[in-house]
Amino acid sequence: NAGVMQNPRHLVRRRGQEARLRCSPMKGHSHVYWYRQLPEEGLKFMVYLQKENIIDESGMPKERFSAEFPKEGPSILRIQQVVRGDSAAYFCASSPLLGTQYFGPGTRLLVL
Amino acid sequence: TQLLEQSPQFLSIQEGENLTVYCNSSSVFSSLQWYRQEPGEGPVLLVTVVTGGEVKKLKRLTFQFGDARKDSSLHITAAQPGDTGLYLCAGEGNKLVFGAGTILRVKS
């Protein structure tokens, strides 16, 4: 049973470009969570999604950030018009209903 | 807002020493989880504690959940270089809330 998969593992973007981060949950998991981590810090919750629904986006900036988890395919975290402050590691976790969250390896975004 | 404070932020010890990492909050959590994260990787779950006063052991690691379910500790006996990493506690309420982590470095 493959774990949570994220790609790309590393992403470099110039200011103003768009960043698309993908997350494939573990098989059988219908809940996806996105977190952001700055160097040597803990993870900050961004958004919680179920298939085709955003359940809680209280941790996600109101502008430039969006997330989706379509019926088919991976969950996508999209950052438009990236700025240097968006540079961080972005982690996805998945869980079954009311279950433990399992984390992917993360995508490290660097904005030049 | 639920907050978790971890201490110490950084710990550098010699192989064979014992250590304790603390995770404290003013909020009550339904459960608390401890993760270990290595550089370039995602957090890996070590343990979940649910009941106030609960103690769980995982080889040389002992986890304790406070009676009031507001705090927890992780004790490592006879630390080894392989224990090096970032240790994160996370409290579960409406969502998972993470502490800032403790960076542990065990020197051989």
Q: What's the pLDDT tens digit per position in A43-63?
A: 999 999 998 899 999 999 999
- Which residues of chain A are within 8 Å of residue B36 when distances are taken between CB atoms? none
Which of A75, A93, A78, A80 shows the shortest CA–CA distance to A37? A93
Contact A101 B88 (CB under 8 A): no
Question: Per-residue pLDDT for B33 more than 90?
Answer: yes
- Residue A22 confidence (pLDDT): 98
- Residue B1 confidence (pLDDT): 62
> What is the rounded CA–CA span in Å between residue A53 and residue B90?
25
Residue ranges of chain A whose CB lies within 8 Å of a chain B CB:
4, 33, 35, 40-45, 48, 56, 58-59, 91, 93, 100-106, 108
Residue in B40, B48, B98 closest to A43 by CB: B98
Contacts of A11 (CB under 8 A, 6+ apart): A19, A21, A107, A108, A109, A110
- Residue A87 confidence (pLDDT): 96
Q: What is the mean pLDDT of chain B?
A: 93
| Closest-approach residue (CA) in chain A for B43 | A103
- What share of chain B in percent tops pLDDT 70? 97
What number is the average pLDDT over the span B51-56? 94
Alpha carbon of B42: minimum distance to chain A alpha carbons (Å): 4
- Residue B95 confidence (pLDDT): 78
Question: Per-residue pLDDT for B55 more than 60?
Answer: yes
Residue A82: other Cβ atoms inside 10 A? 21
Strands A31-37 vs A53-56: parallel, antiparallel or unpaired: unpaired
Contact A101 B41 (CB under 8 A): no
Cβ atoms of B19 and B75 closer than 8 Å:
yes
Ranges of residues in chain A with a pLDDT under 50 are: none
Alpha carbon of A6: minimum distance to chain B alpha carbons (Å): 10
Contact A42 B44 (CB under 8 A): no
- Top pLDDT among A76 and B26 is at A76
